[in-house]
A = this chain, B = another copy of it.
Amino acid sequence: MRGILFDLDGVLYDGERPIAGAAETVAWTRREGIPHLFVTNTTSRPRAAIVAKLRKFGIEAAVDAVLSPAMAAATWLARQPRGGVALFTAPALREEFKGLDLVEEDARYVVIGDLGEAWDYRKLNRAFRMLMASPEVRLLALGMTRYWQTESGLSLDVAPFVVALEHASGKRAEVLGKPSREFFLAGASRLGLEPAGVLMVGDDIRADVEGARGAGLRGALVRTGKFREGDLAGDVRPDLVLATVAELPRIWPLPW
C-alpha cells in the first residue's frame, strides 16, 4: 500500500465528535509522506467547508486533498470531449467546476446534485429536455444518496432525481461519488497511484469497502461510525478490519 483514502463521518469523526486518535493518524500520514485524500459524498457544501470542519477536530487538510463528488465530476469532465456543462447543484458548489464551460441550456453534460428545495418541475424538465436533445448528452450524478435526516424530517437527496431523469430519458447516469467505480478511480488518479496501491478506510461495508474493492483498491473497515457486527457476516470481505482508524500507524506498512 502506498496511499490512503479516508472516509470522514464515522472514521475521523462521528457527527460533531472527533474519533480518538484520528487527528494523530492523519498527522502521521503527513509526517511519513503517505499520499492521502479525504473522501466524502457531501454534495451540499464546498470542500472549503469540509476543510473547516476537519480543522475543528485538529485535522489539517488542504482543500485539494478533499475528494468530493463535485471534485471527482470536475476531474472526470476535464478528461471528456469539450462541451457545455449544466449544473443542477447547490450554488455553493459552482466554484468546484471553475474552468469548465458552464451553461444553462444546450449542455452536453447535465450534472445532478442535491438541489434540495430549489428543485421544481421546470428545473427537472429543463434537465430532461437537454438529455433528450441528443444521444451524446451525458447525465452525471454527484453520488446516489437517497435521502438524509434533517431537523424537520427525512428529505430527498440526489438519487431520486437522478433515477427520475434516467427513467424518463432512458439514459444511465455516470455516478461520481461512493460507491461508484469512477469515483474511487478518480481518487487513485488524483494521488498519482495505481488503484491496487491505495487503501480506502471506511465505516460502510457497501459504499466504502465494496465500492473501493470493485474499483481495484483495497478496503479497510473500521468498527466505528455506522459499523455493525453483522457487516462482517455478509458477502463483502474487507482486506482489513480496524477497531478505529487510530490503529493504522501501528500496523503500517501493510504486508500486501
Number of A residues near B (Cβ < 8 Å) is 27
Digit string of A123-153 for contact with B (CB within 8 Å is 1, else 0)? 0110011001000000000000011000001
- Say how far A156's CB is from chain B's closest CB, in angstroms: 5
Asked if A100 CB lies within 8 Å of chain B CBs, one says no
Asked if A124 and B156 make an inter-chain contact with CB atoms under 8 angstroms apart, the answer reads yes
How many copies the complex holds: the figure is 2
Dominant SS among interface residues on chain A? helix
The answer to whether A189 has its CB under 8 Å from any CB of chain B is: no
Residues of B within 8 A of A159 (CB): 167-168
- Pick from B154, B156, B160, B168: contact of A147, CB under 8 Å: B168
A160 and B164: CB pair below 8 A? yes
| Closest chain B residue, CB of each to CB of A115 | B121
A31 at the interface (CB under 8 A from B): no
Interface centre among A122, A125, A132, A163 (most CB of B within 10 A): A125
- Residue A217 lies at the interface, judged by CB distance under 8 Å to chain B: no
B167 contacts A154, CB within 8 Å? no
The answer to whether B121 touches A146 (Cβ under 8 A) is no
Q: For the complex, what is the distance from the CA of A116 to the CA of B129, rounded to whole Å?
A: 14
A residues near B, CB below 8 A? 115-122, 124-125, 128-129, 132, 146-147, 153-156, 159-161, 163-165, 167-168
